[in-house]
A = this chain, B = another copy of it.
Amino acid sequence: MRDVALAAEVSTATVSRVLNEDAARGLGAVAKVSGATRERVLAAALRLDYKLNHVARSLKTRSTRTIAILAPELANDFFMALAEGIEQELGKAGYMLLLSSSSNSADEEKRRLGVLSQRLVDGIIVVPASRRGEHIQAIADGGTPVVLVDRLVEGAALDCVLADNEGGAYAATRALLADGFSRIAFLGGNPALSTAQERLAGFERALADAGLTGRDVRPGGMGIADGYRLMDELMAEAEPPEALFAVNLLVHLGMERRLLEEGRAALGRFAMASFDETPYSPFMTACRYSVAQPAADMGAAAARLLLERITLAGASAPAAVPRCLRLDTRLIRH
């Protein structure tokens, strides 16, 4: 910057003003630098191919224009779509995205949050690894804006963006019922995750509304291997349920994997439905429902919420009351 100042025969202060004014052009801020000087500085900067040092700026302004996303894993269609939604929205506002994975562990999540706060990120979007949220709340209390996505934590007063898990599960279960199935089982789940609990609740409400009393619920994880195992157990039963509702696509996938081992014909054996949907879903079984979550929208919404809170914090406005968005799911019949 000194070189540019020298070349333009002004002070570094003036160079800085030109550059910042330039960034904030359109804002009602008072024009501080005269036209002629501005031209000279701009020309010099161009000539010297000057690149502003963002780290130095961050040190002074205490803002890195970077936000982080902390998710339990990365290679997962849902989280990816989420990340894409976030990235799009942040890009518009000139922010960058720092990616971090908690590897499905609350401890690792805590560690990563610590590292992130050292880096002075302007905000963090967290997909909690568990229901425990003290460490997340602590970060928020420390002044770093935080938004939760997809999953809820206990006893935290934080902004969040969630899918209507209960409603989605309710709709899918009703659809199965309307198709004439009454012996429906709910497969998979993890009591530590709000999503699993909410989906189960929707499932049970649909059964209750239909006047059914007994419920067939088989928790046991949220992954492909879990679905595989659950289906394996199911197939050993004398009188298995007719229809199956899987807590998510991974469990569903594991289930169908197991079925496929019996031959392609076996795929038609159960009427299946599950949460989540990908472009591959139409190929997975003959008759089925998917509950599609608006992942990209959820990401975008979370990003907007976070950006709002960041500007609020910047203006040192009174901490706004936490907001919680529920986005609708969409029932897809294949």
Interface of A with B (CB < 8 Å)? 51-56, 58-59, 64, 66, 73-77, 80-81, 83-84, 87, 91, 96-101, 114-115, 117-120, 224, 253, 256-257, 260, 264, 278-280, 282-284, 286, 296
Contact = CB atoms under 8 A, between A and B. Distances in A.
Contact of A74 (B54, B87, B224): B87
Contact of A282 (B55, B118, B120, B257): B257
Contacts of A73: 84
A264 B284 CA distance: 11
Contacts of A284: 280, 283
A286 B267 CA distance: 12
A232 to B, nearest CB: 17
A287 to B, nearest CB: 10
Nearest to A108: B91
A223 to B, nearest CB: 11
A280 B264 contact: no
Contacts of A87: 74, 99-101
Contacts of A119: 54-55, 96
Contacts of A58: 55
A75 B80 contact: yes
B56 A83 contact: no
A37 B75 CA distance: 46
19 contacts: A54-B118, A54-B119, A54-B120, A55-B120, A74-B80, A74-B84, A74-B87, A75-B83, A77-B77, A83-B99, A87-B99, A87-B100, A97-B99, A98-B98, A98-B99, A224-B279, A253-B280, A257-B282, A283-B284
